[in-house]
Structure 1
């Protein structure tokens, strides 16, 4: 199958909010998108999902934490995907919402225990993203989708 055949064989199917959050929760890492000096910045981080909150752990000195602290809340996007590089099948989920530092000591301690840092260094700040928009798509083979779903 050549490149054009692969593209022809795939379609995007929109996912529900519930399915999108379930898929996001199934992966340990994602990318947080925020504004740094009026420009977009992207950082890979690990996360957990608590209800609908997407919770990440970062350093107090990180640019994400600085942005959140400066405004006390900031709009961010969070993206997680699982797309096979050969077949180009899989899914992608983007959450857009308000990020706030978790200041409640009990919640922060619970998240601190659950979110193990994935890189060396002190991760001393918990940030929770409250989704306003949750969008997800699944890339599937055209023949796997029933005619009524098209």
Structure 2
């Protein structure tokens, strides 16, 4: 047991996904060869998958090179701070049935731009933690 075990609480997959239902935006981390990029995205949770929309550009190009991604979101609910990280693979939806399903999820772009491409992050690992916000303990 470490010093922080009494401060940080590990969230279950279900608790982690429940926190994601009530927050925007999230962030997606992608790797393009030696370069790492992070992008804010608005998203929707469906089961254990994250969906977002994107236009042609950096995100879409990077996904064509490497589908391994991290997704992160965090927030504050009352006096409880939390953070959720999802490791997984992102796929640009191409099958009409997949796109039709994504269209039913009610996700609208925030920016007034056309975003024709749906992306689904398929989770391989979902982890989260929470803690009560408080003052730093006495150091000495």
TM-score by length of 2: 0.81
2:12 equivalent to 1:16: yes
Q: Which secondary structure does the structure 2 equivalent of 1:79 belong to?
A: strand
CA RMSD, Structure 1 to Structure 2 (Å): 2.4
**Native 8 Å contact 1:98 1:130 kept in 2:** yes
Q: 1:63 to 1:30 in 2, by over 3 A?
A: same
Which runs of no fewer than 5 residues in structure 2 stay unpaired?
135-140
1:102 aligns to what? 93
Shift of 1:99: 0.5
2:73 aligns to what? 80
Q: Distance in 1 between matches of 2:94 and 2:58?
A: 18
Task: Report the count of equivalent residues.
Answer: 129
Q: Distance in 2 between matches of 1:19 and 1:80?
A: 13
Please state which structure has a larger fraction of its residues in helix: 1
TM-score by length of 1: 0.76
Give a deviation string over 1:17-38, Cα, whole Å, max 9, x none: 1111111122232011101342
Q: Distance in 2 between matches of 1:105 and 1:91?
A: 36
Q: Distance in 2 between matches of 1:62 and 1:25?
A: 27
